[in-house]
A and B are shown apart, each in its own frame.
Chain A
């Protein structure tokens, strides 16, 4: 019997390893193959930030640096291949990391002398990384000329990283459900009142039982509504001092009340109808959700059966102070503790990345972010992505509040849960959130950059 079990397992191992071995062909080639096929530029390229490929790096001597990142190896390897094709003496070793634990390993490595010279940055970890970053060796005015939102990243006249793309929330709708409800493209709502009416039409009930939600914001209301719609009504998330939260205002109460009314008065959804709105939409249970740009990729990779469309977030009156909050996807960081010659390569690589339109488009398409590079705002390839093209008209009417501490999200999430699940009144819930954020931010160095918004009052 034991022999039989062992034999069966051995057979399973062989079969499984054979199957896994079949997949090895799917792996993309390493740096050499890519470098060979890359189109090697010889003339300077870029807008204001220009990259001159004729300038030798490290005096033409061989040098190896590491680039740490999370996400798609292919995406980063493409840029590396292009760079290495120009500078064959430079080897950039790509080190892929899982997103979650990257933030444990990276600060440990940066603390020593052997950390990566170049690394991927996410602005939510700004405070953990800023002390390890070297400022970019590119004139500030050049960066500002080419990219949106640079001024928000200036610290004492220096810039350590900027955004290559901007991500924000839009409305994703199920086209089949839309059609079944007798709606057409002309019914795309522009205001929240219209949105509520459309949501009612998309809602299907069997008696009192909800069968299809017109709109689902379960697990999303803090991220996609409370931390964004305030701008439509003219409120910043932080008061004038840039540190005191502004979350128990009349306008925030109005937004929370609208969410409560959508579920409890309009009946277009329910707090108990699917744990997460995003999953419920993917499972074909909900007709509309507001999600950030990354959801476009999720729908195309995981929820492939959903026939979806996307439109810009509605406003209260058609003339918002700003449409919504955005967050940037950041350019690479440069390790200030790395040896000088490695830092020089890193500086050069970042300049290459910023000047290279192909790389900028590839990164923005991969992340479904709107390009921060001004010259790419109407790029044909970018406009083919509906989650980006709908933002094009008003992209300058979105605000980045800065790398907010996570307490902003967690405190407002708790406030919403208290209102929906624990019977707490809106005033009390938002006052508690305000107090909680003030308490949590005592040790934070965060200061809002909302005052740098182009149309700031």
Chain B
């Protein structure tokens, strides 16, 4: 065997070992990340005394579905679930549309003040949400939007992150395609809806996932503006399991286990586009 061949084998061997080690590390990290979720899932089938017991076991020693059956004792779980789904879908669709539209304008149109406008959009991402929450509450109160989904949907329709992300993504699309469409007689409305939208699906997927997740798990704002029980969202309902002196962990885990299903579904459906979208937004300037 020649020296070159041996060297090649050694490099191959090293690559294989490196690959195995890397995979083992990733599996371990994956398990560490997923374990609390698995523990919560199994604990949702335990009684509270077992969840709080000194000796902890992953699997329930006395299997019970009571936590799932009794979830509704505190609030109408399915009603809250449906409310959350409605608000989240509406907000996500609105953000996807407005972000793509603004991203298209900011990346493909040249006009005076474009950079200032974009800087303004970016600056909205830099202000901590807790600073704006009280003025936002006062505005909603003076508009008479309290206890209405208008308070949840309208202020959330524009996302600085979404606009930034879509501007970066749409900037990667060749101008020549748009020019060709214009030469063929397409108007801007057509170009946006029939060319930009389909070509930006990776970016759209990534902001759709982010926005869906953020809206789905948003707690404080919906809690502050919604009073009527029948309109309340699931993230607020989950908090109801934590009382002044104790927490009903079993019911909380059962409700949480169900509440994460839509998020999982969205991620599974869009994961390929999500990864591609995040990667493209990250590398293009």
A residues whose Cβ falls under 8 Å from a Cβ of B: 2, 5-6, 9, 12-13, 16-17, 19-24, 26-27, 66, 70-71, 73, 93-101, 104-105, 108, 112, 114, 274, 279-280, 282-285, 294-295, 297-298, 301-305
Q: Using A5-B268, A101-B220, A114-B141 as known contacts, say yes or no to A22 and B227 having CB atoms under 8 A apart.
A: no
Given contacts A13-B258, A27-B73, could you give 15 more A-B pairs where the C-beta distance is less than 8 Å? Answer: A9-B265, A20-B258, A23-B77, A26-B73, A98-B236, A98-B239, A98-B242, A101-B223, A104-B220, A104-B224, A280-B54, A295-B245, A297-B245, A302-B52, A304-B49
Q: Which of A2, A100, A114, A303 contacts B268 (CB 8 A)?
A: A2
Q: Inside 8 A of B71's CB, which chain A residues have their CB?
A: 20, 23
A349 to B13, CA, bound (A): 81
Asked if B70 lies at the interface with its beta carbon under 8 angstroms from chain A, I say yes
Q: Inside 8 A of A112's CB, which chain B residues have their CB?
A: 138, 141
Q: How many A-B residue pairs have CB under 8 A?
A: 118
Contact with A along B160-198 (1 / 0, CB 8 A): 000000000000000000000000000000000000000
Separation in Å of the A107 CB from the closest CB of chain B? 10
Residues 198-241 of B contacting A (Cβ, < 8 Å) = 220, 223-224, 227-229, 236, 239-240
A71 to B52, CA, bound (A): 21
Asked if B123 lies at the interface with its beta carbon under 8 angstroms from chain A, I say no
Pair B268/A20 contact, Cβ less than 8 Å: no
Q: Which of A13, A295, A297 contacts B261 (CB 8 A)?
A: A13
Asked if B154 lies at the interface with its beta carbon under 8 angstroms from chain A, I say no
What DSSP secondary structure best describes chain B's contact surface? helix
Pair B146/A114 contact, Cβ less than 8 Å: yes
A303 to B269, CA, bound (A): 42
Q: In the complex, which of the residues A70, A98, A297 has the most CB atoms of chain B within 10 Å of its own CB atom?
A: A98
10 A-B pairs in the complex with CB atoms less than 8 angstroms apart: A2-B268, A17-B78, A19-B68, A21-B78, A24-B72, A70-B244, A98-B223, A104-B220, A294-B245, A302-B52
What DSSP secondary structure best describes chain A's contact surface? helix
Q: Which of B72, B137, B223 contacts A27 (CB 8 A)?
A: B72
Asked if B65 lies at the interface with its beta carbon under 8 angstroms from chain A, I say yes
Asked if B53 lies at the interface with its beta carbon under 8 angstroms from chain A, I say yes
Separation in Å of the B261 CB from the closest CB of chain A? 5
Chain A minimum-CB-distance residue to B220 = A101
Contact with A along B248-280 (1 / 0, CB 8 A): 000000000110010011001100000000000
Chain B: interface residue total (CB-CB under 8 A): 44
Asked if B48 lies at the interface with its beta carbon under 8 angstroms from chain A, I say yes
Residues 60-114 of B contacting A (Cβ, < 8 Å) = 65, 68-78, 81
Chain A minimum-CB-distance residue to B65 = A19
Separation in Å of the A247 CB from the closest CB of chain B? 25
Asked if B285 lies at the interface with its beta carbon under 8 angstroms from chain A, I say no
Q: Which of B52, B78, B227, B246 contacts A283 (CB 8 A)?
A: B52
Pair B265/A302 contact, Cβ less than 8 Å: no
Separation in Å of the A74 CB from the closest CB of chain B? 9
Separation in Å of the A291 CB from the closest CB of chain B? 10
A283 to B52, CA, bound (A): 8
Q: Inside 8 A of A301's CB, which chain B residues have their CB?
A: 48, 246
Pair B261/A12 contact, Cβ less than 8 Å: yes
A66 to B228, CA, bound (A): 10
Pair A108/B134 contact, Cβ less than 8 Å: yes
Chain A minimum-CB-distance residue to B226 = A95
Pair B244/A71 contact, Cβ less than 8 Å: yes
Contact with A along B114-133 (1 / 0, CB 8 A): 00000000000000000000
Pair A283/B70 contact, Cβ less than 8 Å: no
Asked if B243 lies at the interface with its beta carbon under 8 angstroms from chain A, I say yes
Pair B52/A282 contact, Cβ less than 8 Å: yes
A302 to B264, CA, bound (A): 31
Q: Inside 8 A of A20's CB, which chain B residues have their CB?
A: 68-69, 71-72, 77-78, 81, 258
Q: Inside 8 A of A280's CB, which chain B residues have their CB?
A: 54
Pair A95/B224 contact, Cβ less than 8 Å: no
Contact with A along B33-55 (1 / 0, CB 8 A): 00000000000000011001110
